[in-house]
Amino acid sequence: MAKYIAKRIGLAIVTIWAVATITFFLMNMVPGGPFLSEKAISPQATAALEAKYGLDKPLFQRYLTYIGDALHGDFGDSLKQRGRTVMDIIKMKFPVSARVGGLTVLVALTIGIPLGCIAALKRGKFLDSLISVVATCGIAVPSFVICTLLLYFFGVKLMLLPTVGLSSWKHFVMPVMALSFYPTAYIMRLMRSSMLDVLGQDYMRTAKAKGVSGFLILFKHALRNAILPVITYVGPMLAYTVTGSFVVEKIFTIPGLGGEFISAISGRDYTLIMGTTIFLATLIVIMNVVVDIVYKMVDPRIKLK
Amino acid sequence: MSEYLVDIKNERLSFFTPVGEVKALNDVSIHLREGEVLGIVGESGSGKSVTAYSLMGLTAHPGKLVGGSLMFNGHQIDQMSDKEMREIRGNEISIIFQDPMTSLNPVYTIGNQIMEAILLHTDKNKVQAKERAKELLELVGINEPLKRLKQYPHELSGGMRQRVMIAIALACEPKLLIADEPTTALDVTIQAQILELMMELKDKLGMAIIMITHDLGVVASMCERIAVMYAGKVVEYGTADDIFYNPKHQYTKGLIRSIPRIDTKEHERLIPIEGTPVDLLNPPKGCPFAPRCEECMKICLREMPPVTNFGRVHYTQCWLNQKEEMEKGAANE
């Protein structure tokens, strides 16, 4: 196990380095720069700014400097948000997105798994069809549509829920609902198909032949086998969800990290692009290791090498 | 209390599929005393497994019992609720399935899976159940039982897993063990070992066995009574001697002719039964075997043959047998 984890950490470093390198060069290939704006800035001022942030140096030298600094934990200052380091921005905004995202994942799991199981058990019946229709809608309808509908009904018509900010639990309801629609629907479908597969397995018949009750057959014998695809999906999904969603954060005016990914790119805030990308990559890599370990705990046939 | 442990009378069972009613069992009657071994033989789809599963209340959806009575050890199986059935399953009736590779749950240890049935049906606590599980593994000839209890199915070979399945089946000392082609998925040497083990355990524990197989060799060596099934009917029933030395039904004769023999000449061909099994969605009016029967008569296609008895146990359902017996009876008078 220790050897496995050491190996995975080594691999993780290589992966993150590769992501950083590719992002660095791609982002510099995009035309434009951080100091272009509608207001004409004098060429001297632009040159001074570029010199200050080292943007006047050749690309490869900038790359080496960046990687060197990053290895020391210094991800630089934001080019657009004056006076803030990239780390400051992530430290300030990530907890906000993580709270909304974490709740979203919890909701998706607690609704998606049972509904998927029910759909599988009631295969072909009305309830199964109903769940399938809801799941298809959840996957097909984009989040901004859901956000708008929620805002219209709960915020404007019924005046039940606040529409801006995150200051009480009520504020969380709509963003979490909007965000969890897609993952809930996805988990439902995954769960349904893998549960159907497991229910047809010979060992389910063995359990029944032993006299095990329907409840135990489902929760002891079927669920543990059927949940594996869901685990695979939830790992990376968690990484994406806790880093926030641009659309949902914009619509509900949540000061989360999701908006930073997009605004960093549109503003050519090079250091922030690098910082947020490396942060997300690191989270995904960590979640993949966690998924592997959880997998091993659930299914003894899996060997971690 | 009837004299039989298992008494199935005129069982009719159909699968209600979207294309229509598939009559899987048509008037099946089978009985078995305590400690007896009954072999059920027949080709795929003849209703062997369906008969046995229905006795355990394990009929798969969309199968439904449409007629007849199923008695087991004084219980009216066909009238029992699911909850009452659960108390019998794994306790008084156990089953061993065909494929040991897929019949054990891959994510639980062997110990867990054996103890499950013990904990469910007896008052034993976990420690006692574990002790019992260890005894069972010893009983089915698995060495180092304490180590095996902690292992997962994928760590054992096919033969071992089938032994574990037998251990699970025997956990509560059932009165009846159903073996659904227990050796089909195993290689030949292991097959012999498993059959030997089953016979040994039968003598030790005194349980009755229903052996479902399409291997006539297996029934010949193990079974006292044999039921030959075809298209959801028992076409011939008798002792092993009746079936092998004095087969009456054309289908049984065909089956026995198609077994390779040790004294067959080198290039001699086996004699197959020509044709294909009937479509149970649209079963024929007459004898289901008639289209494949070499001795088929006009009446065979029109009407179901009645039961013809040859002595106390041996019977067939065949017009030819009926005709011969009547002629014999007429000659005697």
Q: Is the pLDDT of residue B2 over 70?
A: no
Of A209, A212, A221, the CB nearest to B58: A209
User: Phi then psi for B186, rounded to 5 degrees?
Assistant: -105, 160
Q: Which two tokens stand for residue B189?
A: 């040497």
Q: Is the pLDDT of residue B135 over 80?
A: yes
Of A205, A214, A225, the CB nearest to B97: A205
Q: Chain B residues with CB inside 8 Å of A194's CB? A: none
Residue A209 lies in a domain: yes
The percentage of chain A sitting over the pLDDT mark of 90, rounded to a whole number, equals: 49
Residue A10 lies in a domain: no
Of A210, A212, A224, the CB nearest to B107: A224
The percentage of chain B sitting over the pLDDT mark of 70, rounded to a whole number, equals: 99
Tally of CB atoms within 10 A around B150: 11
Q: Which two tokens stand for residue A219?
A: 């929760």
Q: Taking CA atoms, what residue in A is nearest to B153? A: A301
Does the beta carbon of A224 lie under 8 angstroms from any beta carbon of chain B? yes
Q: How far apart are CA B88 and CA B76, in angstroms?
A: 12
pTM (global) more than 0.90: no
Q: Taking CA atoms, what residue in A is nearest to B85? A: A211
Q: Is the pLDDT of residue B1 over 60?
A: no
Residue A175 lies in a domain: yes
Residue A216 lies in a domain: yes
> Are the beta carbons of B42 and B243 closer than 8 angstroms?
no
Element (H, E) at B28: strand B20-32
Write down the ipTM of this complex.
0.85
Q: Is the pLDDT of residue B323 over 80?
A: yes
Round the average pLDDT of chain A to a whole number and report it: 89
pLDDT tier for residue B145 given thresholds of 50, 70 and 90: very high
**Cα torsion at B90, B95, B98, B100 (round to 10°)?**
40
- Mean pLDDT value of segment B167-184: 90
> Are the beta carbons of A211 and B97 closer than 8 angstroms?
no
Question: In the sheet where B75-76 sits, what is the strand order?
Answer: B20-32, B6-17, B63-72, B75-76
Q: How far apart are CA A173 and CA A162, in angstroms?
A: 9
Residue A108 structural domain: 96-267
Element (H, E) at B15: strand B6-17
Sign of CA dihedral B30, B34, B36, B39: positive
Q: Give CA A267 to chain center in angstroms.
A: 22
Q: Give me the number of domains chain A comprises.
A: 1
More confident residue, A202 or A80: A202
Q: What is the CATH number of the domain that holds A126?
A: 1.10.3720.10
Q: What per-residue confidence (pLDDT) applies to A76?
A: 86
Q: Chain B residues with CB inside 8 Å of A228's CB? A: none
Does the beta carbon of A225 lie under 8 angstroms from any beta carbon of chain B? yes
Q: To the nearest whole angstrom, how far is the Cα of A192 from the nearest Cα of chain B?
A: 18
> Are the beta carbons of B71 and B8 closer than 8 angstroms?
yes
Beta strand pairing call for B93-96 and B176-180: parallel
Residue A151 pairs in a beta bridge with: none
Sign of CA dihedral B100, B103, B108, B110: negative
Residue B177 pairs in a beta bridge with: B94, B209
- Mean pLDDT value of segment A132-159: 89
Q: Chain B residues with CB inside 8 Å of A208's CB? A: 58, 89
Does the beta carbon of B90 lie under 8 angstroms from any beta carbon of chain A? yes
Of A210, A214, A301, the CB nearest to B168: A210
Max avg pLDDT among A192-201, B39-48, B283-292, B318-327: A192-201
CB contact under 8 A, A212 and B58: no
Q: What per-residue confidence (pLDDT) applies to A156?
A: 85
Q: What's the start-to-end Cα distance of chain B, in Å?
A: 40
Q: Taking CA atoms, what residue in A is nearest to B169? A: A210
Q: What per-residue confidence (pLDDT) applies to B41?
A: 92
Segment among A38-47, B130-139, B142-151 with least mean pLDDT: A38-47
CB contact under 8 A, A209 and B86: no
- Mean pLDDT value of segment B234-238: 93
Tell me which amino acid residue B54 is: S
> Are the beta carbons of B103 and B109 closer than 8 angstroms?
no
Residue A169 lies in a domain: yes
Q: Give the pLDDT confidence of B4-19 residue by residue, as tens digits.
A: 899 999 999 999 988 8
Going along chain B from its start, the domains and CATH numbers come out as 6-92+172-262+270-332 (3.40.50.300)
Residue A299 lies in a domain: no
User: Phi then psi for B208, rounded to 5 degrees?
Assistant: -85, 155
Q: How far apart are CA A213 and CA A259, in angstroms?
A: 50
Q: Name which of A260, A219, A253 is nearest A117 in CA terms.
A: A219
Round the average pLDDT of chain B to a whole number and report it: 89
H runs (alpha helix) in chain A? 2-29, 43-52, 59-71, 86-121, 126-140, 143-150, 169-199, 202-209, 214-216, 223-226, 228-242, 246-251, 258-266, 270-298
Tally of CB atoms within 10 A around B160: 21
- Hey, of A197, A201, A202, A210, which one would you mutate to test binding to chain B, going by the most B CBs within 10 A of its CB? A210
Residue B238 pairs in a beta bridge with: B226
Tally of CB atoms within 10 A around B125: 10
> Are the beta carbons of B158 and B100 closer than 8 angstroms?
yes
Residue A144 lies in a domain: yes
What is the Cα gyration radius of chain A?
24
Q: How far apart are CA A103 and CA A195, in angstroms?
A: 25
DSSP letter at B305? -
Max avg pLDDT among A105-114, A167-176, A296-305: A105-114
Residue corresponding to tokens 């010979």 = A202
Q: What per-residue confidence (pLDDT) applies to B194?
A: 86
Q: Which two tokens stand for residue B195?
A: 């059959």
Residue B317 pairs in a beta bridge with: B307
Q: How far apart are CA A291 and CA B333, in angstroms?
A: 85
Q: How far apart are CA A110 and CA B254, in angstroms?
A: 59
Residue A221 lies in a domain: yes
Q: Give the pLDDT confidence of A208-259 residue by residue, as tens digits.
A: 999 998 888 988 999 999 999 999 999 999 999 999 888 888 888 888 898 8
